[in-house]
Structure 1
Amino acid sequence: MIKIGFIVEGECEQLLIESAHFRLWATQHDLEICEPVINVRGNSNLCPKNIEPSITDCRNMANPNKIIVLTDLECEPCVMATKSRLNNENVDQIIVAKKALEAWFLADTVAMRRWLKNDDFPGENQPEQTTDMPWERLKEIAASYHKKKLGPGRKKKAFARKMIEQFNFSIERAASHPNCSSAKYFL
């Protein structure tokens, strides 16, 4: 079993990594997710001068065989630019969710249907290519299904928790979406 330490951009990523569903997937693939998951609390804290203390914390507290960084693309021009910015010899893998982690939620049609309480939701064709950020697209979808009260709300963490725990978001389903390559790459 390979012990994996995670350094994540924020609370939503931390919720995903700490979820029972993801941990079960990891165990099935001979991976152990080390604790604690190191949350740097924002993309701006994933820069060369700030990442080193997080790597040290991960090594000291979690004692992993490998360290993986999970972050969002946000407004960077490409995945390679993000990876270059975060490049550190002590990080084994950098995973970049295209645009943002919420694109992965958009890619899981089953969880989206549960959230919308609508089995007719056709799915999002281009979850990583939304006009605005995926969070804004979630708001648009909620409004179009007359689910303002069901909308993602104002807090991404609360929405992520609902998608993961209540609506059973599956990273495997997101990764199987033909246009969600960053989730596929993550797995």
Structure 2
Amino acid sequence: MVKVGFIVEGDTEKQIVSSDSFKALCRKAGIEVINGIFPTNKRERGKDVFKNEEKLHSFTQLLHDMGAEYIFCMRDLEDLTCISSAKTEIQNADETVIKIIVVKQIETWFLGDLALLKTYFGSNFLELFPEVANPETIIKPSEKLKEISMATRNGKGIGDKLLFAKSLLRNGFTIEHSAENCPSAQYFLDKLKSISH
């Protein structure tokens, strides 16, 4: 089994890569996800962690010490104009570090899982929100999820973002389904497959 570690921007990314469904996907590919996703401290998360070369190096070293052969750095594109700019901000030249940029926010990947959203919001939600068929063109995916929730659940919003993410994971979110509509999710899966051989 190839051992991988993760350095992530936020709590939602952490929930996804530490979920049972993601770990099962990795096991099928011959990949073991190392316990301990960095930064462990909630206050240290955010894009700034990737801009701090010293801190990023220490997280990378810790993961290597725990047995990681490859390390995935995951961050959102947000307002940057291109993926290359976002990758450049990740201050690490280690060849075992794989940079994953989510277009635009991690919530884009939730929007990409149409099977999940049809179950969660009702099969007609696409008629109300046809733009979701191309989730990476949506500027503020987290706001779009709130809008869909308000329109399809009798005015009931999302509330706590992390609890909502947990609910989507419990209800069957998969990166494989998301990859059908999100090139950045497909890129992530392709990178996982490339290290599993």
TM-score, with normalisation over the residues of structure 2? 0.84
Counterparts of residues 60-71 of structure 1 (less than 5 Å): 60=65, 62-71=66-75
Residue 72 of structure 1 pairs with residue 76 of structure 2: yes
Shift of 1:58: 2.1
User: Are the equivalent residues in 2 in contact too, given 1:4–1:68 (CA < 8 A)?
Assistant: yes
| Match among 112, 119, 123 for residue 114 of structure 1 | 119
Partner of 1:139: 146
Hey, what's the Cα distance between the residues in 1 that align with 2:58 and 2:166?
27
Counterparts of residues 1-187 of structure 1 (less than 5 Å): 1-39=1-39, 40-49=44-53, 50-60=55-65, 62-90=66-94, 91-116=96-121, 118-122=122-126, 124-130=132-138, 132-149=139-156, 151-153=157-159, 155-165=160-170, 167-177=171-181, 180-187=182-189
> Greater CA deviation, 20-29 or 39-48?
39-48
Percentage identity across aligned positions? Answer: 30
Hey, what's the Cα distance between the residues in 2 that align with 1:23 and 1:87?
27
Matching residue's letter, 1:163 = L
Matching residue's letter, 2:87 = K
Matching residue's letter, 1:78 = C
SS of the residue aligned with 1:75? coil
TM-score, with normalisation over the residues of structure 1? 0.88
User: Are the equivalent residues in 2 in contact too, given 1:69–1:94 (CA < 8 A)?
Assistant: yes
SS of the residue aligned with 2:72? strand
Root-mean-square deviation (CA, aligned residues, Å) is 1.6
User: Are the equivalent residues in 2 in contact too, given 1:48–1:85 (CA < 8 A)?
Assistant: no
Count, aligned residues: 179
Q: Which runs of 5+ in 2 are unaligned?
A: 190-197
User: Are the equivalent residues in 2 in contact too, given 1:7–1:58 (CA < 8 A)?
Assistant: no
Hey, what's the Cα distance between the residues in 2 that align with 1:46 and 1:66?
16
Hey, what's the Cα distance between the residues in 2 that align with 1:14 and 1:77?
25
Deviations 1:74-110 (A, max 9, x none): 1111110010111412352000110111000001112
Hey, what's the Cα distance between the residues in 1 that align with 2:60 and 2:100?
15
Shift of 1:133: 1.2
Q: Which runs of 5+ in 1 are unaligned?
A: none
SS of the residue aligned with 2:133? coil
Hey, what's the Cα distance between the residues in 2 that align with 1:147 and 1:185?
36
Matching residue's letter, 2:27 = T
> Greater CA deviation, 119-128 or 63-72?
119-128
Matching residue's letter, 1:128 = E
Deviations 1:118-161 (A, max 9, x none): 1222261221111x310011111122224432x322x3211111
Hey, what's the Cα distance between the residues in 1 that align with 2:29 and 2:184?
19
